[in-house]
């Protein structure tokens, strides 16, 4: 079933140890929609300036993305500039120009209010809550992404949104920061008590943790020889995750676990190029190959009945 994403469409200027790219297509809603469109139709609600290039509208539509909700207004498109060091998990923001995004107040059209799956990308919590309340009926699944900026500056409002969503995605630092707990299991439990039945903790190259209704699942990241640009990896993860759930309708524990693995797969493609170059071109066969790779990475033969581990009996010897 179709997915609605509300978030940012932007131009990024990025520098990494591998190279740099100026005015590259970016934004949370952009990365999410192209990733999710590999599995299910997606509609975007966002705002861009008059400088937004026609070729990028065409790229989105070529992937079957509904862009009728992208409002074009006078001014410049949201721009972000940053530098990544040798550690792909850390980055320095050099410049942020909200431009037309500063006045973003999404008004959903009739067709947008009827989507069964809703992803509230990383935007102001009050806007996320307003979008959710505009839906004609409660979607089957509502997922939310956020960041430390909102956790530190809009914590109370973010808490109000969390009461009404099903899934929240945060990285390790964000999870610990919001919950005020260092232990990730405790932190996820704290967040789940607020409202969402599922907490996904993104751990970059160390994989992902899924906390859902009392169960815990972990999936590794895809081992990669090189990382070109980590920008948008989390949004592509969310796209793969939501795309799989929407395409199958499987909201069981097993469905969520497979969706997390698909999220990791799509995130792995995102970091292999600047902007959306790699994600755009990825094939169904490549996605399946990496899905099976993660399955193989986590496969091992369990102990047989009555079989025990080969512990040394040294501790039982008398000295």
pLDDT tens, position by position, 245-274: 999 999 999 999 999 999 999 999 999 999
Domains and CATH numbers, the chain: 3-298 (3.40.1190.20)
Helical H segments across the chain, by residue range: 28-36, 54-62, 125-134, 148-153, 155-162, 172-179, 184-194, 233-248, 253-270, 277-281, 284-297
Burial pattern 193-209, b for ≥16 Cβ within 10 A else e, equals ebebebbbbbbbbebbb
| Beta carbons of 166 and 132 less than 8 angstroms apart | no
* Cα 122 from Cα 174, distance rounded (Å): 12
The SS3 assignment for 315 reads helix
Per-residue confidence (pLDDT) for residue 48, from 0 to 100: 98
pLDDT at position 313: 65
* pLDDT reported for residue 315: 54
pLDDT of residue 8: 96
In the predicted model, residues of the chain with pLDDT beneath 70 are 1, 313-319
User: Which residues are bridge partners to 225 per DSSP?
Assistant: none
State the pLDDT at residue 314.
60
Burial environment of residue 98 by CB neighbours within 10 A (0 to 12, 13 to 18, 19 or more)? middle
């Amino acid at each position: 079933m179709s997915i609605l994403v509300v978030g940012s469409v932007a131009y990024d200027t990025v520098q990494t140890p591998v190279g740099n790219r100026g005015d590259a297509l970016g934004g949370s809603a952009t990365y999410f929609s192209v990733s999710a469109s590999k599995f299910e139709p997606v509609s975007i609600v966002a705002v861009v300036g008059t400088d937004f290039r026609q070729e990028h509208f065409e790229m989105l539509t070529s992937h079957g993305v509904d862009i009728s909700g992208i409002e074009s207004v006078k001014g410049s498109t949201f721009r972000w500039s940053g530098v990544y060091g040798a550690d792909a998990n850390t980055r320095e923001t050099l410049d942020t120009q909200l431009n037309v995004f500063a006045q973003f107040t999404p008004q959903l059209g009739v067709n947008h209010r009827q989507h069964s799956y809703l992803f509230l990308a990383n935007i102001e919590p009050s806007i996320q809550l307003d979008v959710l309340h505009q839906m004609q009926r409660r979607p089957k699944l509502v997922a939310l992404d956020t960041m430390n900026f909102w956790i530190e500056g809009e914590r109370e409002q973010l808490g109000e949104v969390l009461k009404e969503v099903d899934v929240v995605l945060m990285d390790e630092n964000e999870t610990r920061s919001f919950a005020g707990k260092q232990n990730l299991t405790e932190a996820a439990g704290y967040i789940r008590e607020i409202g969402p039945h599922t907490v996904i903790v993104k751990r970059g190259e160390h994989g992902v943790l899924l906390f859902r209704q009392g169960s815990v699942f972990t999936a590794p990241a895809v081992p990669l020889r090189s990382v070109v640009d980590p920008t948008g990896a989390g949004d592509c993860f969310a796209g793969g995750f939501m795309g799989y759930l929407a395409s199958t309708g499987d909201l069981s524990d097993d469905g969520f676990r497979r969706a997390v693995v698909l999220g990791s797969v799509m995130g792995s493609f995102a970091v292999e190029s600047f902007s959306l170059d790699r994600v755009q071109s990825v094939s169904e066969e490549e996605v399946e190959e990496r899905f099976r790779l993660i399955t193989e990475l986590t496969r091992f033969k369990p102990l047989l009945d009555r079989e025990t581990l080969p512990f040394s009996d040294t501790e039982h010897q008398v000295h």
